[in-house]
C-alpha cells in the first residue's frame, strides 16, 4: 500500500479569485457537492472575512458537506481566524488555513514587518486557530521566493504551535520543478519536527509549470496538493486537479502515493465549474478538453482501433467522458426529475421551487428531445439566478435577421419596477440585441469577452453564452443558456449587468492589511 496523497481543492477560494469568476452561495454549494462526489479530501470553501456574503457561503458549504473536510482561509489576524472558526462551526470536519507572507519582497513592501514579527504573527494565528479545530494549515505566502533558512525557522515554530499541515505556495508561479522539488526535500530534512506535519504545495501557473512543480514536490515527499478544477485561479490559475490526479494515477510506477479521487466524476465536475464560472475549457486541455481523447488523424485512429494502448495512456471512460447519459425527456415525470436532481446534489427548498424548475424542464423538453445532466445544471443555474435579487430581467426579445438587411432587435426588460423597451441595429442579431439592452441599462461597460459553447451536441443543443463586462476596474462574467443563442446571449448580458449593479464590498485575502 502506498501513501495517500491528499487532494485539497481550492476552486471555491483561489479559483474564485480569477477576475469574473465570483460565485454566489448557491453556486458554491452546488460545486462543493460535486467536489464531494469526486471524493476530494479537503474543500477550501472561501475566505469568510472577505464579506458577509463570503462568510455565509462558507457556512452553507460547511453545513451541506459531510464527507470532505471544509476549510476556510484566514490571514494571520485574530478577526479573520474568528470569522473562519465561526463560519465552519457546523462542519462535520473543519480546517482553518492561515497564512502570512515570508519572502523578503512581501515582508518589506506588502507587510512592512521585520521577519521576527512575521514569525510572531504566524505562531499566534496558528494557536488561535487551534482553539476552533485540531486541523490547522499554515502557508508561508510566496514561499517560492522566500529564503530557505527563514522558511525552516517559521515552519518549525508553527508546527510547535499546533499546525498539522504546512503548505508551501509558489504564489507567483516562479519556481522550476527541479528546484521546487528540492526545496520540499530540504525543508523536510532540515526542520527538526517536520515529521509532525504533512507537507503540501500550492502552485500557480504563471510560467505554465503549476502541475509540473506540484508533481516534483510529490516526488520529494509532499503528501497534499492544492489544486483547482480546470486549473482555475488567480492570474494564470492554479495546478489543475484533473491533471495532478491523473498523472499520479497513470504513473503509479513513478509516484509512491495514490489519491482516493473518484476519477469518473472529473468531467461532470469540470463542466459544472466551467458553466457556473463562465470560464470555458479549451478543446485541447488535458483530461477535460473536448479533444483530449479524440483521435483525429488517420494514423492514430488506426492505431487505436487495433489496440487502444497504442496511443491512449488513459481511458476516456475513467475520467467520465462516456458518462454523458441521456437522463430525461419529454415524458419524464416529476419524480424522475426530482430523483435525478437529487443525484446531482440539488435540493429544492420547497415544492414551489421544484414545480418552477420542473416547468422550465418541460418547456426545454418541448424544444429539445434528449435532456442531459448538463442541461439540468443549466436550468438550475438559470432558476437560481432569477431567484436572486436581480434588478434587471428580460421580458421579451424580437430580432430580425435577413440576408441583405441590417439586423435589428427590439427588447423589453424590467429594470427594478419599470418596464422599458428599446431597439438597436447591429452587425448581427446578437450585436443588435446586446446594443438594445445596453441602450436601456447604460452600464457603459466594455464587452471584453463573448463566447458560445454548446452544452451538449446536436443542432437542438442549448448554447451557453458567456459575456465579460469591464468597467472602472471591475470585471464580471455573465452566463445564459437557451436553445436559441440570441436569447442565450441576451440572458448572459443581463446576468452580467445584474452582477455589475450588485454592490461590491469584499476584501481580497492577499491584498493584506497585516
Considering the complex, state which of residue 169 and residue 181 has its C-beta at the smaller distance from ligand KIV.
Answer: 169
167 membership: H or E segment, kind and range? strand 165-170
**Of 99, 174, 337, 372, the one binding ligand KIV by CB under 6 A:** 99
Write down the least CB distance from residue 170 to Zn ion, Å.
9
Query: Rule CB under 6 A: which of 200-219 touch ligand KIV?
Result: 202, 204
Write down the least CB distance from residue 10 to ligand KIV, Å.
7
> Residue count at the site for ligand KIV (CB under 6 A)?
10
**Of 9, 14, 16, 464, the one binding ligand KIV by CB under 6 A:** 14
Chain centre to alpha carbon of residue 336: 29
Considering the complex, state which of residue 56 and residue 206 has its C-beta at the smaller distance from Zn ion.
Answer: 206
Look up cell 528540492; give the residue. 182
Write down the least CB distance from residue 225 to Zn ion, Å.
13
Considering the complex, state which of residue 46 and residue 478 has its C-beta at the smaller distance from ligand KIV.
Answer: 46
> Residue count at the site for Zn ion (CB under 5 A)?
1
Query: Rule CB under 6 A: which of 393-452 touch ligand KIV?
Result: none
Taking phi over 0 as left and psi of -120 to 50 as alpha, with beta for the rest, 312 belongs to beta
**Of 9, 14, 80, 243, the one binding Zn ion by CB under 5 A:** 14
Task: Mention every residue, 6+ apart, whose C-beta is less than 8 A from residue 421.
Answer: 410, 411, 412, 440
Considering the complex, state which of residue 105 and residue 395 has its C-beta at the smaller distance from ligand KIV.
Answer: 105
Write down the least CB distance from residue 509 to ligand KIV, Å.
6
Residue 70 and residue 66: Cα distance in Å, rounded? 9
On whether the CB atoms of residues 259 and 5 are closer than 8 A, the answer is yes
**β-bridge partners, 370:** 329
Q: Which does 141 bind (CB under 5 to 8 A by kind): ligand KIV, Zn ion, none?
A: ligand KIV
Write down the least CB distance from residue 100 to ligand KIV, Å.
10
According to the binding rule CB under 6 A, does residue 169 interact with ligand KIV? yes
Write down the least CB distance from residue 131 to ligand KIV, Å.
21
Residue 273 and residue 21: Cα distance in Å, rounded? 10
For 228, phi and psi rounded to 5 degrees? -135, 155
According to the binding rule CB under 6 A, does residue 121 interact with ligand KIV? no
Task: Mention every residue, 6+ apart, whose C-beta is less than 8 A from residue 468.
Answer: 20, 278, 447, 448, 449, 450, 475, 476, 477, 478, 496
Q: Which residues bind Zn ion (CB under 5 A)?
A: 14
Q: Which residues bind ligand KIV (CB under 6 A)?
A: 14, 99, 139, 141, 169, 171, 202, 204, 509-510
Amino acid at each position: 500500500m502506498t501513501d495517500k496523497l491528499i487532494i485539497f481543492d481550492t476552486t471555491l477560494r483561489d479559483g474564485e479569485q480569477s477576475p469574473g469568476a465570483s460565485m454566489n452561495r448557491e453556486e458554491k454549494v452546488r460545486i462543493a457537492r460535486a467536489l464531494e462526489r469526486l471524493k476530494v479530501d479537503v474543500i477550501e470553501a472561501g475566505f469568510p472575512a472577505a464579506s458577509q456574503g463570503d462568510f455565509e457561503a462558507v457556512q452553507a458549504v460547511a453545513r451541506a458537506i459531510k464527507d470532505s473536510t471544509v476549510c476556510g482561509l484566514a490571514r494571520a489576524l485574530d478577526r479573520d481566524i474568528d470569522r473562519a472558526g465561526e463560519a465552519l462551526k457546523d462542519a462535520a470536519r473543519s480546517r482553518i488555513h492561515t497564512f502570512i507572507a515570508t519572502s523578503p519582497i512581501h515582508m518589506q513592501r506588502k507587510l512592512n514587518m521585520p521577519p521576527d514579527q512575521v514569525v510572531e504573527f504566524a505562531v499566534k494565528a496558528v494557536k488561535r486557530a487551534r482553539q476552533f479545530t485540531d486541523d490547522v494549515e499554515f502557508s508561508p505566502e510566496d514561499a517560492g521566493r522566500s529564503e530557505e533558512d527563514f522558511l525552516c525557522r517559521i515552519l518549525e515554530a508553527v508546527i510547535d504551535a499546533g499546525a498539522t499541515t504546512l503548505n508551501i505556495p509558489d504564489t507567483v508561479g516562479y519556481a522550476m520543478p527541479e528546484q521546487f522539488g528540492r526545496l520540499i526535500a530540504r525543508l523536510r530534512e532540515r526542520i527538526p519536527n517536520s515529521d509532525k506535519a504533512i507537507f503540501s504545495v500550492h502552485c500557480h501557473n504563471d510560467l505554465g509549470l503549476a502541475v509540473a512543480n506540484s508533481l516534483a514536490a510529490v516526488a520529494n515527499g509532499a503528501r497534499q496538493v492544492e489544486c483547482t478544477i480546470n486549473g482555475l485561479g488567480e492570474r494564470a490559475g492554479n495546478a489543475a486537479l484533473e491533471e495532478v490526479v491523473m498523472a499520479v494515477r497513470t504513473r503509479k510506477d513513478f509516484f509512491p502515493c495514490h489519491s482516493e479521487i473518484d476519477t469518473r466524476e472529473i468531467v461532470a465536475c469540470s463542466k459544472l465549474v466551467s458553466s457556473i464560472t463562465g470560464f470555458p475549457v479549451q478543446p485541447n486541455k488535458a483530461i477535460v478538453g473536448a479533444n483530449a481523447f479524440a483521435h483525429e488523424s488517420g494514423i492514430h485512429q488506426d492505431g487505436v482501433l487495433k489496440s487502444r494502448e497504442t496511443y491512449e495512456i488513459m481511458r476516456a471512460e475513467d475520467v467520465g467522458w462516456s458518462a454523458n447519459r441521456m437522463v430525461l425527456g419529454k415524458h419524464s415525470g416529476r419524480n424522475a426529475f426530482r430523483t435525478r436532481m437529487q443525484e446531482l446534489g440539488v435540493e429544492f427548498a420547497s415544492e414551489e421551487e421544484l414545480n418552477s424548475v420542473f416547468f422550465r424542464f418541460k418547456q426545454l423538453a418541448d424544444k429539445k428531445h434528449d435532456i442531459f445532466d448538463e442541461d439540468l445544471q443549466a436550468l438550475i443555474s438559470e432558476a437560481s439566478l432569477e431567484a436572486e435579487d436581480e434588478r434587471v430581467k428580460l421580458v421579451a426579445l424580437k430580432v430580425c435577421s435577413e440576408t441583405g438587411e441590417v439586423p435589428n432587435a427590439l427588447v423589453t426588460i424590467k429594470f427594478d419596477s419599470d418596464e422599458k423597451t428599446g431597439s438597436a441595429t447591429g452587425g448581427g442579431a446578437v450585436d443588435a440585441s446586446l446594443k438594445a439592452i445596453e441602450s436601456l441599462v447604460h452600464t457603459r461597460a466594455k464587452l471584453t469577452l463573448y463566447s458560445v459553447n454548446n452544452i451538449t451536441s446536436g443542432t437542438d443543443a442549448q448554447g451557453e453564452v458567456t459575456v465579460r463586462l469591464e468597467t472602472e476596474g471591475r470585471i464580471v462574467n455573465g452566463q445564459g443558456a437557451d436553445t436559441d443563442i440570441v436569447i442565450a446571449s441576451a440572458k448572459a448580458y443581463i446576468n452580467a449587468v445584474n452582477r455589475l449593479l450588485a454592490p461590491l464590498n469584499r476584501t481580497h485575502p492577499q491584498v493584506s492589511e497585516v
